[in-house]
Each structure stands twice: as C-alpha cells, then as structure tokens.
Chains A and B, each alone.
Chain A
Amino acid sequence: GAVVSQHPSWVICKSGTSVKIECRSLDFQATTMFWYRQFPKQSLMLMATSNEGSKATYEQGVEKDKFLINHASLTLSTLTVTSAHPEDSSFYICSARDLTSYGYTFGSGTRLTVV
C-alpha cells in the first residue's frame, strides 16, 4: 500500500535555530501534502496545504514566514520551522493525498522539542 516516510521522528534543537522535517511518498505521487500539528491532549490541527510546484496555503493563525513549506517534487514536501522557540515544541505530522485512490496516507510524525 501507499507509504509516506517522515524524518526525523524526533529532534531536539536550541532556541533560534531552524529545523527541517521531510515527508516522502515512496510509491505514489503526492500532488497535495497536508501538514498538521498536535499539542498534548488536542486534536491534529491542520497548518497548511501544499501543492506540488505552487505556494502553500496556510490556515488562519499559522505564520507562513515561520513555517516554511516546500513541495518541489511529486514525492517530497518539507516543513522548516525557522527561528524555533520553546512554544513551537509539538508533534508535527504530514499527510499525502493519492489522486489515484483519493486516499490519505500519513507519515509517522516528528516530535520537536525546542530548548
């Protein structure tokens, strides 16, 4: 079945540094990728939608200059948390939509801790 590989699975970084999270669709073309964030005891919250070759669309309240999304190929989307602060510590997960099946396949998530 469809697989999305997300890396890293966890990362610890210092305040002020940037962190890049990658999601790759391994056996299908992901024309659309969705990025979510989850705080403890809360639901997965959609941050942005990225379409291959175009600019990402951000949800209300999500800073596009802080969370840079690149979807330059049909199999790779990246989320870069720039100038990270402790309040950015969270669980980030991607989801890719496969247009041939209309299914959504998720990565396994990244636990970010900013110290």
Chain B
Amino acid sequence: ILNVEQSPQSLHVQEGDSTNFTCSFPSSNFYALHWYRWETAKSPEALFVMTLNGDEKKKGRISATLNTKEGYSYLYIKGSQPEDSATYLCAFLKQGGKLIFGQGTELSVKP
C-alpha cells in the first residue's frame, strides 16, 4: 500500500506569520510530487510539480523543496495572508499517471 502522509492536519496562524508543512511519500519508484491549493467550493489549483531531488520551486510567497532520497517535501508560505487560507494537498505520481494524495493540511490565516 502506497502511503502519502501530510502534517500537520490543520494549522491556524496569524496574518504575517510564516509557516511550513510536510509531505512524506515512498522514496522508491519516484516520478514526481505535485502540490495543490484547494479552496472550498473551487477546483484544486496546481502549485508545483517537483521532479528532481533537491528541487526548490517558488511562486510568489510560496515555495517548495523536494528530497526524493528520504521521501519528503516541504511547502513554505512566507508572510501568510488571509487569502492563503485553503487546504494544501500533495500527491505522489505513480506509474500509469495516477496521483496518490495525502490527506491535506488545512491552513487558516487570521487577520
């Protein structure tokens, strides 16, 4: 059974705080790791597709790192804003193009 674990399950921060969460995945047969941002009643929005060990990607105040040897990825948000409130999902891409999702980290940013 292929497990993708995310922690923490939920996070409450104040506006301006920086935060980070973790995604752990199997270190064998790695193809890619996806990060999504999912707001209520909307479609999950792709943030990053990480493919190479040591990858670091950035999109505005959000960045992500990847360690395929030990099987983890971190997502960082610098200076959180209320509009960052959402559920952040990671997904491990396995052979055949199937995405295996973690449970998500629910982020709430208070003004």
Assess whether A43 is in contact with B103, with CB atoms less than 8 Å apart.
Answer: yes
- Chain A contact residues: helix, strand, loop or mixed: strand
Assess whether B34 is in contact with A108, with CB atoms less than 8 Å apart.
Answer: no
Confirm or deny: B101 has a beta carbon within 8 angstroms of a beta carbon on chain A: yes
Q: Could you say which interface size class chain B belongs to?
A: 20 to 34
How far apart are the CA atoms of A108 and B36 in the complex, in Å? Answer: 13
Count of inter-chain pairs, beta carbons less than 8 A: 44
Q: Could you say which interface size class chain A belongs to?
A: 20 to 34
| Chain B residues positioned under 8 Å from A6 (CB to CB) | 43
| Chain A residues positioned under 8 Å from B34 (CB to CB) | 104
| Chain A residues positioned under 8 Å from B97 (CB to CB) | 32, 34, 49, 97
Q: A44-B91, A44-B101, A49-B98 are in contact. List 16 more A-B contacts (CB 8 A).
A: A4-B43, A32-B97, A34-B98, A43-B89, A43-B101, A43-B102, A45-B101, A46-B98, A46-B99, A49-B96, A93-B44, A104-B34, A104-B46, A106-B43, A108-B41, A108-B43
Interface residues of A (CB under 8 A from B): 4, 6, 9, 32, 34, 36, 41-46, 49, 93, 95, 97, 103-109
